[in-house]
Amino acid sequence: MKRLILLGALWLSVSLAFANAIDVYTFDSAEQEARFRALTSELRCPKCQNNSIADSNAELAQDLRQKVHQMLQQGRTDEEIRSFMIARYGNFVTYNPPVTASTLILWLAPALVLVSGMVVMIVRSRRAKQTVNHALSDEEEQRLNALLSSPEQTDVSSNGSSATSVDEQAEQPMSSEHASTQQNKEPK
């Protein structure tokens, strides 16, 4: 039983060692290595989408790093390598997509949002100034004066007629519905 557990642990450690293998690339010069590092850091991993192919551990990123190394060994230029990756994976593979008809909204959206926000602020501030400077009409002034001068009035309706005061309400006869509800409340 001990041998079986030891064999399982050994198999697991060997498989983990191969799973986390580090890519080792040989270069002809330091310039070629610098180009490799620059290219792999500016190309986006199509699978991870937020990592460059230099930072990603995905199998696709490993394949792309291998392809970049292979193309550098063949003597291709940086632009040829970028063009190859764009042709195969689209403009998404670069962090700075070119200005085309399909990416135009990406480039113009921040400016459009900024300009539209400024227009909204200007329009709202002008409307606010107009409402502040607006004087009361003659009818509104009369209603306001009537409210301020007579303390017994309790309410003014929207059409300008005043509501009845408390004394007037006491003098008015009750409606039939109101009277019937009052009778139902009194004990029999």
DSSP letters along the chain, please? -HHHHHHHHHHHHHHHHHHTPPP----SSHHHHHHHHHHHHHBBPTTTSSSBTTT--SHHHHHHHHHHHHHHHTT--HHHHHHHHHHHH-GGGBSS----TTTHHHHHHHHHHHHHHHHHHHHHHHHHHHHHHPPPPHHHHHHHHHHHH-TT---B-TTSPBPPPHHHHHHSPPPHHHHHHHHHHS--
pLDDT digits (tens), the chain, 188 positions? 888 887 777 777 766 655 555 667 888 889 999 999 999 999 998 888 788 998 888 888 899 999 999 999 999 999 999 999 999 988 888 887 777 887 788 788 899 999 999 999 999 988 877 766 567 788 888 888 898 897 665 554 444 444 444 444 444 555 445 445 555 555 55
Report field, pTM of the whole predicted structure over 0.75:
no
pLDDT of residue 68: 93
